[in-house]
Amino acid sequence: MNKPVLLTGLQSSGELHIGNYFGAIKPFVDLYEAYDSYLMVADYHALTSLKDPEAVRKNIVEVVKDYLASGVDPKKAIIFKQSTVPAHTELAWIFDCLVSVPFLMQGHAYKDKVAKGLEANAGLFTYPMLMAADILLYDTDVVPVGEDQRQHVEYAREAAVKFNNTYGELFKEPKEKILSGVGVVPGTDGKKMSKSYKNTVPLFGTKDELAKAVMSIVTDSSGDRPENVYAIHKLVRDETELTSIYGSNQGNYKALKEMLIEDLDRYLAPMREKRASITSADVAAVLEDGGRQARAVSEAKMEKVRKAVGVA
């Protein structure tokens, strides 16, 4: 009778971009009604990079508005904030005690930060075990994410196996769902779209902000078409139509960018309009309700975990 479980989460570390949307939110929205679905705000994960309490508070509300505006019905999915469900950090600790330091040192996200000379705090180091707890507490089957999270879902599977081998079978091994074509949405410079590269197209920006981002797309004249423009364009317009449009506008990058601005705006405007009608009170009610439901499910699981490890 039980449906399979779908869960994903996004860090509330700043404005979401279209890479977040096409890589994770849209795949979640397309699937979630057929599952028991959870959509989390990873606010404790955001603390690895964000130290401004006002920004932390604001971003949480903004991300929930983004979820609702993207078409997630809070009656059909449990939308909740990680920090209001204590089981997440509690289970993360238990996983921390099962995995080795060299194992965590393989983490791409951690290695990247170290390589860039950014602060590699201990939270960033153990980050994958908090994410494993996020996923495993709900017996998740499927995790829609972008390519950059593949390793983290693998880590969640490893944590499940390590726990099950040590204490007995309690956790299900989840699978990532990474859709081809959107696993790595490129930014305005052709590299992976990412806040830290400052190459993003905002998901809920005004038309002017979209235009500014599109006009900054780096074009090179070596091929038949400006690949960085095309790569974003194909997210919002059919590729057969694009083939003829790009064919008849060869070399006319300005016209192609202007068309991309119009097509992006047409695609995103309905969500932007919907978002404008969502209030902070709506968000508070959704988080309250979602938190209560997530706590009920995760607490039942934690009781079994505490017994299994011997603290209860």
Interface positions with ligand TYM (CB under 6 A): 7-11, 19-20, 23-24, 42, 45, 131, 134-135, 143, 145-146, 148-149, 152, 182-185, 192-194
CB of 195 to ligand TYM, least distance (A): 8
Region of 126 on the Ramachandran plot (φ > 0 left; ψ -120 to 50 alpha; else beta): alpha
Residue nearer to ligand TYM on the CB measure, 194 or 249: 194
Question: Among 183, 213, 215, 185, which Cα is nearest to 198's?
Answer: 213
Sequence-ordered list of residues with C-beta below 8 angstroms from that of 271, at least 6 positions apart, any chain: 69, 70, 71, 203, 204
- Minimum Å distance from CB 12 to ligand TYM? 8
Strands 36-42 and 77-81: parallel
- Dist. CA 117–CA 260, nearest whole Å: 36
Nearer to ligand TYM, 74 or 174 (CB): 174
What burial class does residue 212 get, using C-beta atoms within 10 Å of its C-beta: 0-12 exposed, 13-18 middle, 19+ buried? middle
Q: In the complex with ligand TYM, which residue's Cβ is closer, 203 or 245?
A: 203
Q: How far is the CB of 53 from ligand TYM (least distance, A)?
A: 19
Residue 248 CB, shortest distance to ligand TYM, in Å, is: 29
Where do runs of H (alpha helix) occur along the chain?
18-20, 26-31, 43-46, 53-69, 87-96, 101-105, 108-115, 122-136, 150-167, 207-215, 227-236, 239-248, 253-276, 280-309
Examine the residue annotation and report whether 113 is marked as an active-site residue of this protein. Answer: yes
Of 26, 65, 81, 113, which residue is the catalytic one?
Answer: 113
Q: Give whichever of 249 and 293 is closer to ligand TYM, judged by the CB atom.
A: 293
Q: Is 51 a catalytic residue?
A: no
Q: Smallest gap, in angstroms, from Cβ of residue 252 to ligand TYM? A: 27
Of 126 and 149, nearer to ligand TYM (C-beta) is: 149
Q: Which of 195, 207, 234, 304 is catalytic?
A: 195
Residue nearest to ligand TYM (CB): 23
Which positions are catalytic?
113, 192, 195
